[in-house]
Structure 1
Amino acid sequence: MCGIHGLVALNRPQQFPADWLNLMGDITAHRGPDDSGYFLADNIALGMRRLSVIDLAGGHQPISSDDGQLVLICNGEIYNYRQLRAELAGCQFKTQSDVEVILHLYQLHGVDCLRFLNGMFAFALWDNRKQQLFIARDRLGIKPLYYAEKQGYLAFSTESKAILALPDFKAEVCPHGLQQYLQLGYVPAPYSMFNGIRKLEVASYLLIDKDSIRQQQYWQPDFQQHEHDSEQSWVRRIREQLEQSVAMQMVSDVPLGAFLSGGVDSSAVVALMSKHSSQPVKTYAIGFDTGGAGQFYNELPYARAVAELFGTQHKEILVKPDVVGLLPKLLWHLDEPVADSAFITTYLVSEFARKEVTVILSGVGGDELFGGYRRYLGEHYLQKYQKIPAWLRQRLISPLAKKLPSDRHSKWLNTLRLTKAFVQSAELSEDERYLRYMQVFSPQQSQQLLQQPLAAGSLLQQRYQHSKAEQSLWRMFDTDRQTQLADDLLLLTDKMTMATSLECRVPFLDHQLVELAVQMPQQLVMKNGRLKHLLKEALSDMLPTTILDRAKRGFGAPLGAWLKQELAGLLTLFVNQQRVEQRGLLSWPLIAHTLQLHQSGQEDHTDHLLALLNLEIWCQLYLDGQTAEQISQTIKRSL
């Protein structure tokens, strides 16, 4: 696990200064505090920062082939490397490192080497004979990769701030990235928030030489449903594949543990880790102790119950509203704003766990893969709702729904919020309903917000319309895997864990488990409206019903409630008319209306306000050049 960076000439010949690699490496040192390395030759410069996890002594990078014609840098882990080494018995290995298998597979199969790899990775491989750079990202986008062209060369890095460290680059807002951010609360690939810097999309690779830059997608799930298989067959196969994934991802030469929220996904990971570990698993949980909203979000009792059931070495951390002082630091690490409070909790529990372990396993991806989100139930309930006469829906139910209060920080108000959202989207087309479930500001609202509006359009909606999946559940998953999963949840997980030099692994996103899961019939995944039905059945002999059937809760902080009470001054400080107009990116009237609706409790606009707040802090960091510490001090003085 590490951070990688480099440069390749497009207008050749070209030499790159070693200092440029140092600039890029220094700014991502948190990703690899144990080691660093670089390779310089005509037309190419490669660098890395390493967090040592496998082959601590011998896994130095860059790694080269015996003849020196191939040079590799890789961020990530190849989980099936032992199997691959056995199959490559005729090859001469220099190290015990997992990533060296990529070199030998490339020698035998070229870019098709990717189909043999099971893991999370972003790598760059220089082929000196071809004078070609091969850059690839894993199937689910667990590891990020950014790239940009300038002055006759292409620069790439695990983090976009490393590209900005180069003298030819300057931080400027990408109009399309900003538009998508306002709509979704994150920036979907291929955009980033920086003008000219792109994200490599999931399951894709680049081939770069003096004549061209070619991008190719090398994998996508096959959504052919196996309707004839019995429920028990699916339950058995899911359990076996998930257990295999967890066991494979426990391979490590350093201490490892698990995040534990007490939800189904993290509890499943801990249960299976305990089965395959000779020592008690180390588990880490986070909770809140402030007000009713804190209690609503607090999951510690569930986490304790699971920890006790499996005899883990369990530790907890409590969070209070003053953690917002960390926002500038965390947004610097994220590289781009994200309207998801989970990045705060992820960082805090990562920092806590890093005191004892170097590798952590997480349940990220389970909700997407096994139907864990309430939005996936929309189509299930829609069939029942549409049996109500249209005149009754449109003249009575819809007007009443508009008047419902909307808040997510208590059980009752959260139910009303979800009911309101369902009714308001029920008359839309399938892709429009999905967009309504996922959006922060609508495409029309983003047009109103932008000082320089672009043509209206949603990348999310385009992905949904172009999905090859036939059933609505799997079209939603297919869209999620290309957008929110990669560019929100996995991005914040990677950036926040690596900010503390902690490697995070996600067993639910083993591509073999994904390939199995997407063949499940939609009607079994959420049988009778039960979220994660098949997964829960697969875990029924390991986890109690109090865990399997507990209410869904997101892994985030109660920021919406805090912004109304303890942190009200934060919005006054960063989201006010004078600051918005001086910034010159957004228009004030819609923002003012959004603030009023949220403060009154008439509508829940936590995501909208967090999007605006984090955008302004990000602007101060990257556009104004303020340090995280300077902004943090300003925040502390306002509270």
Structure 2
Amino acid sequence: DVECLPEYLALLYVPNPQTMFKGIFKLSPGYRLLWEKGRISVEPYWKMRFGPLFQASEEELSEQFHEVMVSAIRRQLISDVPIGFFLSGGLDSSALVACAAESGMSTLRCYSIAFRREHGALEQSDEDSHFARVVADRFGAKFESLPVEPEVATLLPKAIWHMDEPVADHAAIATYLICRAAKPEVTVLLSGQGADEVLGGYRVHLAHRLSRYLAHVPGPMRRTFARNLLPFLHRHAAALPFVHPGLLLAFCRFYEKLQAAADMPEEQQYSALRSYYAAGALQDLLSDEVAEATTRKPLHRFDEHFADCAGEELLNKLLYVDCKTFLPDLNLTLSDKMSMAHSIEARVPFLDNEVVDFLLRVPPNIKIKRLTQKYLLRRAFRDILPSGVLRRRKAGFGLPIRSWLQNELRDMVHDMLSEKRVRERGLLQPAAVSRMIEENMSGRQDHTLRIWALLTLELWQQTFLDNSSANFSTTESILGVGTT
């Protein structure tokens, strides 16, 4: 469905209820489909509504939240099969392990991934395995860290086959690997998914506050910094002393987007920051035929969801839209499908009914206090988790693909996204794709997730759309993928 292509490219997923398959739809969160007397209808059975807000103190709320989390974990641990944990060493997954230990779980099994330090140099953090081991040791858990190399990216076709629709997040492969390794020991894995969406954990939730600070800097100075200094930092991040290059690159990416959106209305700013393309850049990428065929705004679903929660405080609006789009269409989709690929059930305690009901009544200024995100969670576990975990910055769970795409996977990128192949597809401008790849390879710009989205799209088309009786086998042979 070419109408959905701009949405996919902008967001890395297609917002519900649409899918990339024309005429096939997803059932939206909180909705049910009814079949009655030969007719189908779709209607909501639950709506996310905030309030009435608690009037208790921070201390009282943190104690209550801790009790709610432990109770949720006890419910989530009910099972007649072995249970384990995804453990990244971040705040969310670590809090789950802490709750399980407090609830009396006798055998804690935790799983994480690890990659070489040189591969993680361009990522925000290369310390997941270290902090995961610290947490496992704190609570006496059995811990398994899975070393990953660039060759695991060749699992992308298999991941896409299990996903059904293109979702361009490399965390899918990391999840697939953990579930494959955990399957001999456990049948259920508990995940920290959902915490950011109900507690305010993404940078986009802070953007409106940061914009106020940025507004004190004259516009010409902000634009000059973005135009002249950011490209220099992109090119020389690895050579600058006393700073982690991946953290510096993450700052560059966020500042560039924040500066461009700083003067926008708050809801429009959120949409701009959630998108991986400015409107003009996205139009320049699409082929003329696709540009003419697409009539709706790529981010129109955001507008609809904002209208549905009009009148709420701003942070609650942002969390509402996340819970309607990013959470179900990307995070929960990849978590569910990659786990079920190995017959693993992924459970998400932060989305337990009682946890969500409690957090819907927590005042926004306790979810994010000044510039401290997930403040309530940090306060609730401040005497339980290691201090290093409590202070860790938010970092995405996944693979070090920035380094891999520039080095070990370079040939795969040039093959799968060659001008000839892009031209034959007829969806994108071949020159624009080639320019994007060249800028990324040279380090002038970071187009990593854009390129990953294009790779995912190409492989999805090969797997599901090309006229071949053996699409999956053909795709595997192109990339040299094994059968495991």
- Provide the TM-score with structure 1 as the length reference: 0.69
1:452 is matched with: 290
Partner of 2:215: 386
Kindly provide the amino acid, as one letter, of the partner of residue 222 in structure 2: I
8 Å contact 1:463–1:479 — kept in the other structure?
Answer: no
1:369 to partner: Cα distance: 1.2
Q: How many Å apart are 1:560 and its aligned residue?
A: 2.0
Q: 1:607 aligned to 449, 458, 475, which one?
A: 449
Q: Contact 2:305–2:324 at 8 Å: present in 1 too?
A: no
Distance 1:601 1:220 in 2: 45
- Give unmatched runs, 5+ long, in structure 2: 238-243
- Mapped to 2, the partners of 1:288 and 1:614 lie a distance apart of 22
Contact conserved, 1:259 with 1:266, CA < 8 A, in 2?
yes
Q: Pick the structure with more helix per residue.
A: 2
Q: Are 1:364 and 2:213 matched, yes or no?
A: no
Residue 623 of structure 1 aligns with which residue?
Answer: 465
Is the 1:255–1:358 Cα contact (8 Å) retained in structure 2? yes
1:554: which partner in 2? 396
Aligned length: 460
2-side partners of 1:589 and 1:635: how far apart? 24
SS of equivalent residue, structure 1 residue 200: coil
Contact 1:183–1:446 (CA under 8 A) maintained in structure 2? yes
Report the RMSD for the aligned CA atoms in angstroms. 2.0
Instruction: Answer yes or no: is 1:397 the counterpart of 2:235.
Output: no
What amino acid is aligned across from residue 181 of structure 1 in structure 2?
Answer: Y
Of residues 252, 255, 266, the one that matches 1:430 is 266
User: For residues 187-230 of structure 1, what are the alpha-carbon distances to aligned partners after superposition, in whole Å with 9 as ceiling and x for unaligned?
Assistant: 11111111111000000011222353221112122223626332
2:71 alignment partner, one of 224, 238, 244:
244
Partner of 2:44: 217
AA aligned opposite 1:323? V
**What percentage of aligned pairs have identical amino acids?**
35
Query: Does the 8 A contact of 2:406 with 2:441 survive in 1?
Result: yes
| Alignment partner of 1:582 is 2:409 | no
Structure 1 residues 204 and 278 mapped into 2: Cα distance closer, same or farther (>3 Å)?
Answer: closer
Provide the C-alpha distance between the structure 2 equivalents of 1:395 and 1:409, rounded to a whole number of angstroms.
27
Q: Which amino acid aligns with 1:401?
A: A
* Residues 443, 384 of structure 1: alpha-carbon distance in 2 compared, 3 angstrom cutoff: closer
Counterpart among 368, 374, 377 of residue 532 in structure 1: 374
The amino acid that maps onto 1:433 is Q
- The 1:409–1:583 alpha-carbon spacing in structure 2 relative to 1, beyond 3 Å, is farther
1:377 equivalent to 2:206? Answer yes
What residue in structure 2 maps to residue 300 of structure 1?
129
Give the residue type in structure 2 aligned to 1:452.
V
Q: Are residues 1:518 and 2:360 paired?
A: yes
**1:344 shift after superposition:** 0.7
SS at 1:205 equivalent: strand
Q: Partner of 2:386 in structure 1?
A: 544
Out of 149, 157, 171, which is 1:320 matched to? 149
Q: 1:412 to 1:445 in 2, by over 3 A?
A: closer
Matched AA of 2:290? Q
Partners of 1:459 and 1:593 in 2: CA distance: 28
User: C-alpha separation between the residues in 1 aligned to 2:305 and 2:226?
Assistant: 27
Pair 227,313 (structure 1): closer, same or farther in 2 beyond 3 Å: closer
Identify the residue that residue 480 of structure 2 maps to in structure 1. 636
- Write out per-residue CA displacement over residues 94-132 of structure 1, whole angstroms, 9 at most, x where no aligned residue: xxxxxxxxxxxxxxxxxxxxxxxxxxxxxxxxxxxxxxx
Counterpart of 2:240 in structure 1 is none
| Alpha-carbon separation, structure 2, partners of 1:354 and 1:176 | 39
Deviation at 1:409, TM superposition (A): 6.1
Deviations 1:250-301 (A, max 9, x none): 0101111111111010001111111223412111111112525268434111
5 Å matches for 1:148-297?
Answer: 174-210=1-37, 212-224=39-51, 226=53, 228-289=55-116, 291-293=118-120, 296-297=125-126
Q: Secondary structure at the match of 1:504?
A: strand
Alignment of 1:595 with 2:420, yes or no, is no
User: How far is 1:558 from its partner?
Assistant: 1.4
- Contact 2:62–2:380 (CA under 8 A) maintained in structure 1: yes
Verify the 8 A CA contact 2:32 2:45 in the aligned structure 1: yes
Deviation (angstroms), 1:571? 1.0
Other structure's SS at 1:330 match: helix
Structure 1 unaligned regions, length at least 5: 1-173
In the alignment, structure 1 residue 486 sits paired with structure 2 residue 336 = no
Aligned pairs (5 A) from 1:3-42: none
Could you say if the C-alpha distance between residues 298 and 549 of structure 1 is closer, same or farther in structure 2, counting changes exceeding 3 Å? Answer: closer
Give deviations 1:145-171, integer Å, cap 9, x for gaps: xxxxxxxxxxxxxxxxxxxxxxxxxxx
Q: Point out which structure has higher relative CO (alpha carbons under 8 A, 6+ apart).
A: 2
Q: Give the 3-state SS of the residue equivalent to 1:616 in structure 2.
A: helix
On the 8 A contact 2:70/2:102 being kept in 1, the answer is no
Match status 1:466 vs 2:307: yes
- Mapped partners of 1:402, 1:335: distance in 2: 40
Which region of structure 1 is more displaced relative to structure 2, 244-253 or 463-472? Answer: 463-472
TM-score of the two chains, using structure 2 as the length reference: 0.90
Query: Given the alignment of the two structures, is residue 568 of structure 1 paired with residue 410 of structure 2, yes or no?
Result: yes
Distance in 1 (alpha carbons) for counterparts of 2:213 and 2:118: 37
Deviation at 1:528, TM superposition (A): 2.2
Q: Deviations along 1:512-540, whole A, 9 cap, x unmatched?
A: 21122122222221212111111100111
Q: Which stretch shifts more, 546-555 or 459-468?
A: 459-468
Q: Which structure: greater strand fraction?
A: 1
Deviations 1:47-75 (A, max 9, x none): xxxxxxxxxxxxxxxxxxxxxxxxxxxxx
Larger Rg: 1
Q: Secondary structure at the match of 2:25?
A: strand
SS of the aligned residue for 2:95 comes to helix
Q: Which residue of 2 aligns with 1:146?
A: none
| Aligned residues of 2:171 and 2:398 also touching (Cα < 8 A) | yes
Tell me the residue number matched to 1:8. none
Displacement of 1:623 after TM fit?
Answer: 1.1
Contact 1:409–1:561, Cα closer than 8 Å, also in 2 = no
Q: Please give the residue correspondences for 1:403-442 in structure 2 after superposition, counting only pairs within 5 Å.
A: 403=228, 404-405=230-231, 406=234, 410-442=246-278
